[in-house]
Copies of this chain bind each other. A is one copy, B any other.
C-alpha cells in the first residue's frame, strides 16, 4: 500500500482542519442565532424551494443527502417546533409529505440572513474569483469520484 508523501500529508491535514473549523463555525453560528443545526436549516431550505413548499419524505431525503431515519427524527423535531407539518400522501398510502408552515418559513428567513453572511465572510470573501472557479472544479471531481464509488459498492453487493 502507498502512504502519503510529506507534501500530501500537509495538504490533507490543512484541508481537513480548514473544513472542520469552517463547518463547525457555521453550525455554531446557526445553533446560537436560530436554535437549529445546519442539517435542519437545509431541510427548511429544501422545503421552501419545493413547489407548494412541501415534499415527500423520500424526495426530501434525496435532496438533503440524508438517510430516511435521520430525516424522520429531524422532521419529528421540526414538527414539535411547528415549523413543519406532516400530512398523508394521497397517491401512495405509505407516503408522508412534509410541508413548511408559515412559522417555519419565517424562522428560515430570519436564520438565512446570518447564515449567508457567515458563508460570505468565511468563504467568498477570503477567496479570489480564480480560487472559487478552482474550488468548484475540485468539488465536482471529488463528488464524481464518490458517486462512482457508490456505484462500485452497489456492484459488490449485487455479487452476493
In the assembled complex, the Cα of A56 lies from the Cα of B136 at a distance in Å of 40
Q: In the bound complex, do residue A17 and residue B137 qualify as a contact, i.e. CB atoms below 8 Å apart?
A: no
Q: In the bound complex, do residue B122 and residue A146 qualify as a contact, i.e. CB atoms below 8 Å apart?
A: yes
Residue A52, interface by CB 8 Å = no
Q: In the bound complex, do residue A138 and residue B135 qualify as a contact, i.e. CB atoms below 8 Å apart?
A: yes
Q: A22-B146, A121-B145, A123-B142 are in contact. Are A135 and B15 (CB under 8 A)?
A: yes
8 A Cβ contacts from A1-53 to B: 1-4, 8, 10-12, 14-15, 17-23, 25
A2 to chain B: which residues have CB within 8 Å? 116, 120
Total copies of this chain within the assembly: 2
Residue A88, interface by CB 8 Å = no
Q: Is the interface of A mostly helix, strand, loop or mixed?
A: helix
In the assembled complex, the Cα of A25 lies from the Cα of B149 at a distance in Å of 10
Which one of A78-86, A98-106, A124-132 is at the interface? A124-132
Residue A76, interface by CB 8 Å = no
Residue A74, interface by CB 8 Å = no
Residue A140, interface by CB 8 Å = yes
Q: In the bound complex, do residue B135 and residue A11 qualify as a contact, i.e. CB atoms below 8 Å apart?
A: yes
Residues of A at the B interface (CB closer than 8 Å) are: 1-4, 8, 10-12, 14-15, 17-23, 25, 65, 113, 116-117, 119-127, 131-132, 134-146, 149
